[in-house]
Amino acid sequence: MSMRRTTRVARGAAALATAVGLALTAAGCGGEGGGQAREGGTTTPRAGSPAPKDNGPDEPAADTRRVIGEMKGADGIVIALHSAVRDSGGFVTVSGTVTNHGTRVFNAIDWRSRETEMRSRSSLSGATLVDKAGKKRYLVLRDTSGECLCTTGLSGLRPGASRPVFAQFPAPPQKVTEVDFQLPTMPTVTLQITE
């Protein structure tokens, strides 16, 4: 095979990969789900994002009627926290719902971490869990590409609208059952970790 033909084949493969990547990106950006896809009234994370918890057939999703903590921020933004669950995989998943009770569209730009490699500008990547007794702070976990294991794409939340949110953290020691959940610009709330 000549060098010219090899180069042409390589360019074609690169163009195909780019087209597929753009198509997947465009498909993931559609709708108002903020990275979440609606299926039959429930929400599931977008492709590539982990679920707040691996719910088996006998295990329901976080009970949104149950509130274990609430954070009230400026401009009518409220986060109702539904669960903080320790999983056997060595992490804690905090799940909740953010609601815009204000009069302006909300973008969670201030909730992101200050890391420069983060691609999502509106996310829960700046959240932390604090073990006050053990004097340790736990940051949101990252996947192999550096993205947070949390809700991303939290932009354009209209007045009166709500979205489910989650963030996964390394689990504190088994004896730790109470942690503070912190999010930039929001008040701290103390949560009980369940198994």
> Looking at residue 55, what is its pLDDT?
37
Query: Domains in the chain and their CATH numbers?
Result: 50-192 (2.60.40)
Give per-10-residue mean pLDDT for the chain (195 aa): 47 48 45 39 40 38 79 91 91 94 87 64 86 92 86 89 94 93 92 91
Distance CA 145, CA 183 (A): 23
Using CB atoms within 10 A of its CB, is residue 130 exposed (0-12), middle (13-18) or buried (19+)?
middle
- Please tell me the predicted confidence (pLDDT) of residue 117: 55
